[in-house]
Amino acid sequence: MILVVDSGSTKTDWIALTDDGKSLFQTQTLGLNPQVLSQEILRERIVNNFELYKHRKDVKALYFYGAGCGTERPRVLMRSVFDEIFTKATDIVLKEDTFAALYATATEGEKSIVCILGTGSNCSYFDGEKIIQKVVSLGYVVMDDASGNYFGRQLIRDYKFGKIPEALAQKFESEYDLSSENIKNHLYKNPNPNTYLATFARFIIENKDEEYCQGVIKEGLSVFVEHQIVLQFPDAKDIPIHFVGSIGFYLQAELKEVLNNFGLTAGKILKRPIDGLVAHHKEHILAK
């Protein structure tokens, strides 16, 4: 059995395949970001899934593409978790989630820019053969513009500073516990503060026709496009720009408008990359 895995900070998609590429099962767990989660929590989220625990000794190879796996230390942590659970796996490959987005959207031999707009955000350049990362993400505290946690942070700040229109603010507080104690507990005591912030993004998406929300959305998207795309890649106007992630997917009308304002062209916009990721493995890895 082969496992192909796409993991963000909020959720993780798993697909099990036979050696010849036939699907055995699909399942989902909570996000597995080794930058913000302990080894114990990572392990617990996997073994608590019935399908994964049941088939843990059947796994011969695992291909994991995850948020937080861009540097060596978190990859080592993630590898130790997998080694403990999938004891029969002789081939374990770990790469950051940027590669999943690339494999799901880009065309081999053609230049493109590949972006992630989900719980977090990122941007990479594909020269047709290899991926180029101009800016290494420093995570949700100082980067992640236009991500779910970015919009959550903006909503909370604007609510506390009284910048959200009254009727919308009342609706906001009726749907979430916005007490200072609860917010600070999630941000400074509980695991996954970035995922917690991203839960508020649902509100801005559901109310995106409100003038206030439109302002926040377009400002955030504009900052992302300017910093991550325009300032990094001189030929951005000449190649397609692909997006993967729920924020880009649900805000694609606004995203296309912002891109157009910068003279850029949207390529594929996918909610999640797992289907394209599986297709890539069937064609380039399992077929060998």
Domains of the chain: 2-100+274-284 (3.30.420.40)
Helical axes 211-224 vs 252-261, angle rounded to 10°: 60
Give residue 281's pLDDT.
85
Give residue 150's pLDDT.
97
Q: What is the pTM (predicted TM-score) of this model?
A: 0.88
Q: Say if residues 43 and 50 touch (Cβ distance below 8 Å).
A: no
Phi, psi of 64 (to 5 degrees): -115, 125
By three-state DSSP, how is residue 47 classified? Answer: helix
β-bridge mates for residue 3, sequence order? 16, 62
- Kind and range of the H or E element at 64? strand 61-66
Give residue 9's pLDDT.
87
Q: What is the dihedral of CA 63, 109, 113, 5, to 10 degrees?
A: -10
Give residue 210's pLDDT.
97
Token pair 């200072």: residue = 180
Q: Say if residues 227 and 221 touch (Cβ distance below 8 Å).
A: no
Give residue 71's pLDDT.
87
Spell out the per-residue pLDDT of the chain, length 288, in tens: 999 999 998 999 999 999 888 999 999 999 999 988 999 999 999 999 999 999 999 999 999 999 989 889 999 999 999 999 999 999 999 999 999 999 999 988 999 999 999 999 999 999 999 999 888 888 788 889 999 999 999 999 999 999 999 999 999 999 999 999 999 999 999 988 999 999 999 999 999 999 999 999 999 999 999 999 999 999 999 999 999 999 999 999 999 999 999 999 999 999 989 888 888 888 877 755
Token pair 């795309």: residue = 229
Give residue 288's pLDDT.
58
DSSP string covering the chain, please? -EEEEEE-SSEEEEEEE-TTS-EEEEEEEE---TTTS-HHHHHHHHHTSHHHHHTTTT--EEEEEETT-SSHHHHHHHHHHHHHH-TT-SEEEEEEHHHHHHHHH--TTS-EEEEEESSSEEEEEE-SSSEE-SS----TTT--TTSHHHHHHHHHHHHHTT-S-HHHHHHHHHHS---HHHHHHHHHTSS-HHHHHHTTHHHHHHTTTSHHHHHHHHHHHHHHIIIIIITT-TTGGGS-EEEESHHHHHTHHHHHHHHHHTT--EEEEES--HHHHHHHHHHHTTT-
